[in-house]
Amino acid sequence: MKLSAFGEKFAGKSGIVELMEDLGEALHSNPDAIFMGGGNPSRLMDVEALFQQRLEALMQDPKQRHSLFGIYQSPQGDIDFREQVATFLKTEYGWNLTARNIAVSNGSQSAFFVIYNMFAGQMADGSQRTIHLPLTPEYLGYADVGLCENFFSGTRPSIDILEDHIFKYRVDFSELHPDETVGAMCVSRPTNPSGNVLTDDELAHLDDIARERGIPLIVDGAYGLPFPNICFVEATPLWNDNIILALSLSKLGLPGVRTGIIIANEEIIDAYTNANTIVSLACGNLGPAIAREWFRSGEILELTARHVTPFYRERSQQTVDWFRAAMGDLPFHIHKPEGAIFLWLWFEGLPITSEELYERLKARGVLVAPGQDFFIGIDGEDWPHRDECIRVSYAQDAEKVQAGVKIIAEEVARAYAGS
């Protein structure tokens, strides 16, 4: 089979492909495996009951049922849903937007493929631009979406060592100097994988830098603000006409409906919609149909405040405590858990790579995410830290998470002991 350059790049192996393959295979071949690698949210029964109520109401209404199953929506997404989202955001946060500032995507991953390649890669004048990541490590799902090589650039973070085996990444603004080769900057908030939440001042500073350079700032809010609000520290949502804000329904408990929400100025939304027509033809109907009333009523905020945020905050701290107890005196650090559904562990001076640790854990039925694939844009730098980290999800049942923590600690101890 002779493939094009596109085919060779996108049909080949990558960090995100291998992670999803491992998860899929384990689901079938080893259903008892402990899944601490992927981003699947926890099953929150009270929230699932709300999904059921909405679906039953849709099924009882012939008009809504037909709209759900029998009609293509616009590539920009269902107009009623977009109007409700726009009204909600304008009412709650005073953002100057309308439905024309909103687009729906078939999951935020597909949206990033389009948006990134709109602003970076080979430009019309023959030059090449990058997506710059001001705080790496960043989401490994970004790494391979570019249509050309050397698609990302990044800035290494500064590291604060805190008490009780906790550390924290910070944007190193003294080293952040995006030049004319940068087409856009992007941050996730909370950061996947580390659970870092950029402060309001940090985000505003990044926005100022982007405006000075005449480039957009892309904010991936898949875990963040204003929903699903898996944030454990004070933070304020930010949007303006130079920010592209990407939100998602997945971490509310709806990863299967593949619904992303893009908020940007009208020019960017129009361009995105045209591209999305070619790539996806139309957007899925199920996510907007389920969530529309939550935005109309404002219930989306109550849902997250009552069920989503407290659950993950408590589970996060519980898992940190389990790791502290299991690791004992081993040289480990946990990134300060400020949000998302992961812990980011750093084993300083680890004698083996995170990839080898991943394979050892996989052999024992525990799936984590090895850290090296998250250091996008600085992956060519000589920095041992890149090979000393793993991402661990704590979204499974508590008993399985605790069992996984024990096995991780055992394998890390073996590695340091040279066995």
Tell me 372's DSSP state. Answer: G
In three-state form (DSSP H/G/I as H, E/B as E, the rest C), the secondary structure along 151-218 is CEEECCCEEEECCCCEEEEECCCCCCCCCCCEEEEEEECCCCCCCCCCCHHHHHHHHHHHHHHCCCEE
- In order along its 419 residues, the chain shows pLDDT tens digits of 777 777 777 777 766 666 666 666 655 566 678 999 888 899 999 999 999 999 999 899 888 888 888 888 888 999 999 999 999 999 999 999 999 999 999 988 889 999 999 999 999 899 999 999 999 999 999 988 999 889 999 999 999 999 999 999 999 999 999 999 999 999 999 999 999 999 999 999 999 999 999 999 999 999 999 999 999 999 999 999 999 999 999 999 999 889 999 999 999 999 999 999 988 888 888 889 999 999 999 999 999 999 999 999 999 999 999 999 999 999 999 999 999 999 999 999 999 999 999 999 999 999 999 999 999 999 877 899 999 999 999 999 999 999 999 999 999 999 999 87
Residues in CB range of 58: below 8 A, 6 or more apart: 64, 65, 68, 289, 290
Cα separation, 232 vs 237, whole angstroms: 14
Residues in CB range of 18: below 8 A, 6 or more apart: none
For the chain, give percent helix, strand, coil, nearest 5.
45, 15, 40
Cα 144 vs. chain centroid, distance in angstroms? 15
Beta bridge partners of 40: none
C-alpha distances out from residue 255 to 39, 170, 222, 229, Å: 9, 29, 11, 16
Fold entry, domain 70-297: Aspartate Aminotransferase; domain 2 (3.40.640)
In three-state form (DSSP H/G/I as H, E/B as E, the rest C), the secondary structure along 91-122 is HHHCCCCCHHHEEEECCHHHHHHHHHHHHCEE
Cα separation, 188 vs 412, whole angstroms: 29
Give domain 5-46+303-417's CATH architecture: Alpha-Beta Complex (3.90)
Tell me 257's DSSP state. Answer: G
Count H helices, E strands: the chain?
13, 16
Cα separation, 342 vs 82, whole angstroms: 30
Amino acid at site 307: H
The answer to whether the CB of 300 falls within 8 A of the CB of 227 is yes
Instruction: Give the H/E segment covering residue 325.
Output: helix 309-327
Domain map (residue ranges) of the chain: 5-46+303-417, 70-297
pTM as predicted: 0.93
Burial class for 104, CB neighbours closer than 10 Å (0-12, 13-18, 19+): buried
Unique residue bearing structure tokens 């529309």: 292
